Structure 1
Amino acid sequence: FIIRMVMARRQSANQGASPAAQPAWAAAGAGSGTTSQAGHGQAQQSNSLFNQQSAAQPTASAGGLFGSMNQPAAASGQQASQPWGVPADFDVAGFVENAKHYFRRLQLANDAGNLDDLREFTTPQLFAEFAAEIRTRQGENYTEVVRLDAELLGIETQDGEYLASVRFSGLIREGRNMPPQTFDEVWNLSKPLQGSVGWVLSGIQQMGNNH
């Protein structure tokens, strides 16, 4: 499981602010004992994680950062619960569905030791952590996503980048004959304000006791 691989050597570190005290998207701009933070300022290829058809920016004229670029605004009942910092006509549903797709894809890439996929969808520093773990791995790495829920927590701008946080939770099986375990974590994504570079995974924050 990706977060267990990245966070294994951080479990004894300071856990930092609690999820209730620290907005999840704030973790995208500040490291903590439970967050793997890597390379916000380093650009990736244009077909990076959560890449969109036209690299639209999150403005009122954009239907979404990826997925259906011309998706209409959410209904008024949904707008009231719009995530923090997200324009009213932002395609939250499309963003979340694509986030779930790439969550599964990155789990498969991690299991297979597919460094090309991991390099494409992560910042350079986070990729270096993945690669180091994979190169020392012994035996099969098996992950089955049994149930996956996702929620866009918010979007902000900082240091020339958009930062988005998506909270993933559900059940995951880490072994062919193992029972599923619950997990709850936030993936922090980054994307330059300018240019056609897509979203990449820049950090992971554990929100509770995954077990």
Structure 2
Amino acid sequence: MPSAGGSVLNILFLGLIAYFLVRTFRRRMDKDDDNTRLGKWDRKNDDQDQGGRVIRPMDRHEAARQMWGHLSSDKNESSSVQGAPVNSDGQFDEAEFLEGAKLFFSRFQQARDSRDFDDLKVFLSDSVYSDALADAQRTSDMGPTEIMLLTARLMEMKSEGGRTLATVFYDAQLRRTAQGAQPMHVRAVWEFSRDDNVENGLWTLEKINKVDQ
């Protein structure tokens, strides 16, 4: 026959277990309730929509990337391309345009390294296209290009003959990854144009002018 002392210990032990279970359950319920009432959402949940896709505010770099959307190396990718970037006041957004111009410069170097300008041909005048192919053939043994530093400055923008003309000055530090290659300081002026009569018309690189170092 079990002793009275053993029964009391069993009851106390079961009581402690029940106490901790109830306490844990209440803490969890209170935490969930606080998150619901006070909007203390986890960052992961806050950055996702109901479909699980990540949502982030569009920054200037992303807007520029969309503006030059056809520069993607994926030939099957379809994206809308905007013409001149505009800000909230409907005015030309110079900073956004220059971000796109730097992306274009980087993509141009990639095409030069691979000696394949097919993806960029729609953005290049006939003379720039042929010159770029010839130059790429001459430097084919120098290895891929690494852009170490790149700045871009809008020197001039004007309308002429139904087209908008934009002149961009690039100042870049480049390095060929071939063994023993030294960094190069490249300064160049690129001339772009866009047909004003075409809605969301594409920018075309009309001319590349090298600047004496």
TM-aligned CA deviation for residue 192 of structure 1: 1.1
The question of 1:207 aligning with 2:211 is answered yes
Q: Which amino acid aligns with 1:149?
A: T
Which one of 187, 191, 198 corresponds to residue 202 of structure 2?
Answer: 198
Q: What is the CA deviation profile of residues 31-84 of structure 1, one whole-angstrom value per residue up to 9, with x for unaligned ones?
A: xxxxxxxxxxxxxxx9767x97443xxxxxxxxx13xx4x335xxxxxxxxxxx
Q: What is the CA deviation profile of residues 98-140 of structure 1, one whole-angstrom value per residue up to 9, with x for unaligned ones?
A: 1111100010011011121231221122112223344566535
Secondary structure at the counterpart of residue 105 of structure 2: helix
Unmatched runs of 5 consecutive residues or more in structure 2: 1-67, 72-78
Give the Cα separation in 2 of the matches to 1:178 and 1:136: 16
Structure with higher Rg: it is: 2
Distance 1:198 1:120, change over 3 A: same
TM-score (norm 2): 0.55
Q: Which residue in 2 is equivalent to 1:184? A: 187
Distance 1:100 1:136, change over 3 A: closer
Q: Which residue in 1 is equivalent to 2:113? A: 111
Q: Which amino acid aligns with 1:185?
A: A
Q: How does 1:58-97 map to 2 (within 5 A)?
A: 65-66=84-85, 69=86, 71-72=87-88, 89-97=91-99
The question of 1:163 aligning with 2:165 is answered yes
The question of 1:120 aligning with 2:136 is answered no
Q: Which amino acid aligns with 2:125?
A: T
Q: Which amino acid aligns with 2:197?
A: Q
* Contact 1:166 1:187 survives alignment (8 Å): yes
Aligned length: 137
Q: Which has the higher contact order (CA 8 A, sep 6+)?
A: 1
TM-score (norm 1): 0.56
* Contact 1:47 1:198 survives alignment (8 Å): no
Give the Cα separation in 2 of the matches to 1:105 and 1:54: 18
* Contact 1:146 1:172 survives alignment (8 Å): yes
Distance 1:137 1:167, change over 3 A: closer
Over the aligned positions, Cα root-mean-square deviation in angstroms equals 2.8
Secondary structure at the counterpart of residue 141 of structure 2: coil
Give the Cα separation in 1 of the matches to 2:203 and 2:167: 11
Give the Cα separation in 2 of the matches to 1:132 and 1:183: 19
Secondary structure at the counterpart of residue 103 of structure 1: helix
Q: Going by fraction, where is helix more abundant, 1 or 2?
A: 2
